[in-house]
Structure 1
Amino acid sequence: MRTAFHEQLDALNEGIAVLCERTGAMIQLATDALLHADVEAAEHVIDHRDDIDHACAAREADAFVILARQAPVARDLRAVVSAMRNVADLQRMGTLAAHVAQISRRRHPQTAAPADVLGYFAEMGAIAARLADDTRSVVLEADSDRAAQLAADDEAMDDIHRRLFTVVMDPGWPHGTIAAVDVTLLSRYYERFADHAVEIAQRVIYQRTGKRQD
């Protein structure tokens, strides 16, 4: 019975790792759309948001099957519930990537952010994609070093978010209100994407080791 449970849980976690990879690809493509006013890339991300939602629903269904058939208790039950929460975080990450793409499509053929702040978003996009990849490794291997790197990258993302807010709020901001709103929203989307990735990693490390990742 426990062998079947662990096989099913491993399969669920492998599916979650695939979702990490897919959301990482989405945020990378959404960033490309933002930086280069690439409407085709933006539409590709938007069109594939439903695919992520369906994949998340399938993984959630897998978790319910485990609960129904294996009736896990104590630590095993917590492992399944944690996996379900990870799926919810990944669904939100896919949604956030789509939000970035939607703003890019709305402002086409111009870039959604002024040229003088695009460098910030290039850095945020690179961090977000790296976070998704590191989260995948944590899910598969419970790698505490990767989890620690996630926390460091999250701090870097937060720092860029704060810097962009300062830039937008400067009385000398020359690009108008609409651009300020777009930049603020985009920055928030990347910052939240990072937060969800870190939450997954911290949850996995705690579930597998009983220790919280600082």
Structure 2
Amino acid sequence: MKSRKNSDSKTNQKRLFMRMKSPTAFGSARRFDSASFMNVPPEMARRDAAYLCFSAFFRNADLSRKKRAERCLIYDRILKLLAVIEEKSEFILNSDIIEKRNLENADSLAFVRLLRKYFTILSNLASACNEEAAKAQTEKTASLVTGEFFERLDPIFLQNEEVLTASVKALLTEKHELLQNQQAQRCKLFSKSDSERYERAYALYAEYYADLENI
């Protein structure tokens, strides 16, 4: 008899668990007490601060005076930062699907993934410029990396890089206000304690990512 009661109790607990909106909400007094949401405000703060610092830097950056190696370094650092932004956006979106708080939409993640593609292209264009050809030409030596082909191709790479850079800057400027409005609307949906945690984390990450070398 006792064994049957234990079995019924476990069955009831299992049914309750399966009805939970979030598995980590099991045992909570309310669904929003679940541990799955605890990390969302600071992770969102990190994502928002990282994006703001990246956007501000690139929109105001003058890359025309940078050497190829310097541009490659900047693109690589931005790609690392965008990888963090994408990771946090995916985490927030998945948590929001579970908790149904309407804090995030799939557009944010898609936008970041597009940016990663654009900066991957920029990095590849900058890397493709053949400095060995220029060096060999200066030294008047014939080699596999010298000749008319490279003389024609390198300016094309540079021109395409400049065009794409200008286009990405225009895109970031166009979406800046919309993204800020979305950020403000998300913060309004936080509880008081969540807002405090978001603001503390945002201040720390904004200071950290303000220096691109920290990426």
Q: TM-score, normalised by structure 1?
A: 0.42
Larger Rg: 2
Q: Looking at secondary structure, tell me which structure has more helix per residue.
A: 1
Q: TM-score, normalised by structure 2?
A: 0.42
